[in-house]
Structure 1
Amino acid sequence: MATPKFQVGDKVRIKDRTTLFHTRTQKYIRKRVGTIVEHRPEWVIPEDEAWDRMETGRKEPFYVIRFKQTDLWPDYTGLAQDTLESEASESWLELVKG
């Protein structure tokens, strides 16, 4: 089992990677910055899970990331403190310094 690269409280940016197959990483969170709020267990990444490679697929830690909705949608008309949480595997994340 891999040691998680990111910690709760870390600011991360979701990578904007090309995907040919299934991924759970929604388009609207790509390139956006959020905060890690929870670790999830290591699991087969969605790109391999889609091909039923549960035994041989690549496994990575997963994280729950919280985003301000105003950061996701500039024309968001809800409350400034409204958030959205999503899950992503480690290879989709990069640390934001500062």
Structure 2
Amino acid sequence: MAKPKFNIGDRVVIKNETTLFHTRTQQYTRGHEGVVVDHRPEWVIPEDEAWDRLETGRKEPFYVVRFKQTELWPDYTGFSQDTLESEFSERWLQPVS
């Protein structure tokens, strides 16, 4: 089992990459900063899980990342403290520099 690269409280950026295959990484989160708020167990990455490679697929730690909705959507009209949380495999995260 791999040791998580990111800790709770770390600021991360979601990589702004394209993929030809299935991913759970929403387009609207790509390129945006968020904060790691929880760890999930290591699991097969969605790109391999989609091909039913549960036994042979690449496994990585997963993270729950929290975003301010006003940073995801500039025209957001809700409260400034509103947040959104989503789960990402480690390959989609990079540290904020």
Residue 72 of structure 1 deviates from its aligned partner by 0.2
1:69 aligned residue = 69
- Provide the identity percentage: 74
- The runs of 5 or more residues in structure 1 that have no matched partner are none
Q: Structure 1 length as normaliser, TM-score?
A: 0.98
Question: Please, what is the CA RMSD of the aligned residues?
Answer: 0.5
Could you list the per-position Cα deviations for residues 13-36 of structure 1 after superposition, in whole angstroms to 9, with x for gaps in the alignment? Answer: 000112011100000000000000
Equivalent AA in structure 1 for residue 82 of structure 2: D
Q: Structure 2 length as normaliser, TM-score?
A: 0.99
Q: Does 1:93 align with 2:93?
A: yes
1:37 aligned residue = 37
Q: Number of paired residues? A: 97
- The runs of 5 or more residues in structure 2 that have no matched partner are none
**Runs of 4+, deviation exceeding 2 Å:** none
Equivalent AA in structure 1 for residue 56 of structure 2: T
What is the DSSP-based 3-state SS (H/G/I as helix, E as strand, rest coil) of the residue aligned with 2:85? strand
